[in-house]
């Protein structure tokens, strides 16, 4: 974090100082909500949470080195002395205000480019790819994991320094106005919208409101807007953009129509994608093309590759460097099409674990299943899908799960295990589509799923784990991925 005094922090968050002898001399260089990361000159943010309350850990944070607390109420140490603190009404709102102050100071100090990325799926993968593309160009900050909301975005900003060249912000939303609020906080120069799907449809109240909210980034990015030409709802955001638009698309179009496109796309036997990146050259004749092979598994990642390439291109990275840096680049965040080979009856008959159970919505479910179908067909191996519920889909949840069950059958997945009562409609959809007997099974719990899999798996299987985060299938996938059976 950039250096800020206690007085400057209090002013930025409209807070009240308590227990600080000289707020103009106390300088803070680190901020976090985790008391375990504290060190000298740190600000501990005592944020109330769903499970516990950060105020309970103030003494621990100060003992670990923190020198100031951002809190919602006054607290004292065991001797009755006031904790050094900035008192605010809402710690999460204050985090956003502090992040906005830091971004403003960084922008005023240096040529930092702030990049916002949003979309119903692919945000974290695109963020990871983009960070790898930009890091050789200068100091680059990107979110840890999927930090993308009102808490995660400030925590990302807090890791930036005055010398930061690129600040990448992943922007998630589960209600209208969320993206606008995050844009107000970080003031993005470049905004990329990946796709509009049905994630969090229940909270939004429908797909149209999702598109309206995601499009807030197109409205508020100041220098460039990066849009997916393959998604009709995203391409319609061009009318809302106030900055120049760069398109990305899965097929080349007329010269100059897109910033970055894909050509001659081919899926390799191991699931990785080989493609030609086509860059248009504004003000120049012709297009520039480079062949590259992704380290990511699945055709759906082509969209993420193109989005990252388009952003990097508009951020000034040479096309040749973009293609070279993408070549062989795999996932850096957990539980996103992670592939692990484990011995199961001998190394020559390994079982392949594909763990994509960080999150799930109908679009990402279909793409993961399509990848499983291709991998099992091309390698003449049995494909096994372990599928949990897709959460936060609202009143259409049962219907969407039912339709996904139909997809499982139409893709000819060899064996499917459906886990959890929220996903039962997926099982019923598969049965209704014509899957009988042992091809599709349902169990109520993750423990039951583990027991069933230990009996059902065979050497040579390719096993996909896919569900929403809280369903816990990612952990079951990890369990199998770290085992070997001889």
Binding region for ATP: 119-125
**Tokens read off for 478:** 């990890």
SS3 282: coil
Asked whether 194 and 171 are in contact (CB, 8 A), the reply is: no
| Cα 336 from Cα 474, distance rounded (Å) | 9
Q: Are 318 and 326 in contact (CB under 8 A)?
A: no
DSSP 3-state assignment of 96? helix
Q: Rg of the Cα trace of the chain?
A: 24
What pairing do the DSSP bridges indicate for beta strands 272-280 and 30-32?
unpaired
Query: How many angstroms separate the Cα of 249 from the Cα of each of 226, 252, 302, 344?
Result: 11, 7, 9, 41
Q: What is the DSSP letter of 423?
A: G
DSSP lists the bridge partners of residue 344 as 485
Q: Dig out the tokens for 360 from the structure.
A: 């799930």
Q: What is the DSSP string of 320-374?
A: HHHHHHHTT----STTSSEEEEE-BSSGGGPEEEEE--S---HHHHHHHHHHHHH
19: helix, coil or strand? coil
What is the CB neighbour count within 10 angstroms for residue 82?
Answer: 12
Look at the block and give the residue holding tokens 């897709």. Answer: 390
DSSP 128-165: HHHHHHHGGGS-EE--STT--STTHHHHHHTT--TT-S
Q: Of the candidates 396, 421, 429, which has an alpha carbon nearest to the alpha carbon of residue 471?
A: 421
């Amino acid at each position: 974090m950039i250096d800020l005094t206690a007085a400057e922090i209090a002013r930025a968050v409209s807070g009240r100082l308590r227990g600080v002898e000289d707020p103009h001399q106390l300088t803070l260089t680190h901020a976090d909500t985790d008391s375990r990361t504290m060190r000298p000159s740190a600000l501990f943010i005592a944020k109330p949470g769903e499970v516990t309350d950060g105020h309970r850990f103030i003494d621990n944070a100060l003992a670990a080195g923190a020198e100031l607390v951002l809190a919602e109420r006054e607290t004292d140490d065991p001797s009755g002395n006031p904790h050094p603190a900035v008192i605010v009404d809402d710690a999460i709102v204050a985090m956003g205000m502090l992040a906005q102050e830091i971004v403003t100071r960084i922008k005023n100090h240096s040529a930092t480019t702030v990049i916002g990325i949003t979309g119903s799926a692919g945000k974290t993968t695109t963020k990871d790819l983009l960070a790898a593309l930009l890091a050789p160009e200068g100091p680059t900050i990107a979110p840890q994991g999927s930090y993308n909301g009102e808490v995660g975005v400030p925590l990302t900003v807090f890791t930036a320094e005055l010398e930061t060249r690129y600040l990448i912000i992943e922007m998630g939303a589960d209600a209208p106005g969320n993206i606008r609020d995050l844009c107000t906080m970080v003031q993005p120069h470049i905004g990329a919208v990946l796709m509009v799907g049905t994630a969090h449809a229940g909270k939004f109240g429908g797909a149209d409101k999702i598109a309206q909210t995601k499009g807030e980034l197109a409205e508020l990015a100041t220098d460039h807007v990066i849009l997916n030409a393959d998604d009709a709802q995203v391409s319609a955001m061009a009318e809302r953009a106030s900055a120049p638009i760069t398109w990305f698309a899965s097929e080349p179009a007329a010269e100059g129509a897109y910033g970055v496109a894909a050509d001659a796309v081919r899926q390799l036997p191991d699931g990785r994608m080989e493609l030609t990146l086509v860059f248009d050259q504004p003000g120049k004749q012709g297009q520039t093309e480079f062949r590259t092979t992704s380290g990511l598994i699945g055709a759906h990642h082509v969209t993420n590759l193109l989005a990252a390439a388009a952003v990097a291109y508009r951020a000034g990275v040479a096309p040749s460097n973009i293609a070279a840096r993408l070549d062989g680049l795999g996932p850096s965040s957990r539980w996103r099409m992670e592939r692990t080979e484990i011995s199961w009856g001998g190394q020559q008959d390994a079982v392949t674990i594909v763990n994509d159970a960080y999150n799930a919505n109908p679009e990402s479910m279909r793409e993961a299943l399509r990848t499983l179908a291709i991998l099992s067909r091309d390698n003449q191996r049995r494909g096994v899908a372990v599928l949990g519920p897709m959460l936060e889909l609202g009143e259409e949840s049962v219907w969407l799960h039912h339709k996904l069950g139909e997809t499982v059958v139409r893709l000819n997945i060899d064996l499917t295990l459906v886990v959890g009562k929220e996903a039962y409609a997926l099982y019923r959809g598969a049965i209704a589509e014509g899957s009988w007997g042992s091809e599709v099974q349902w169990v109520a719990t993750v423990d039951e799923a583990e027991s069933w899999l230990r009996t059902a798996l065979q050497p040579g299987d390719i096993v996909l784990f896919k569900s929403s985060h809280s369903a816990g299938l990612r952990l079951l996938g990890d369990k199998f991925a770290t085992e070997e059976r001889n």
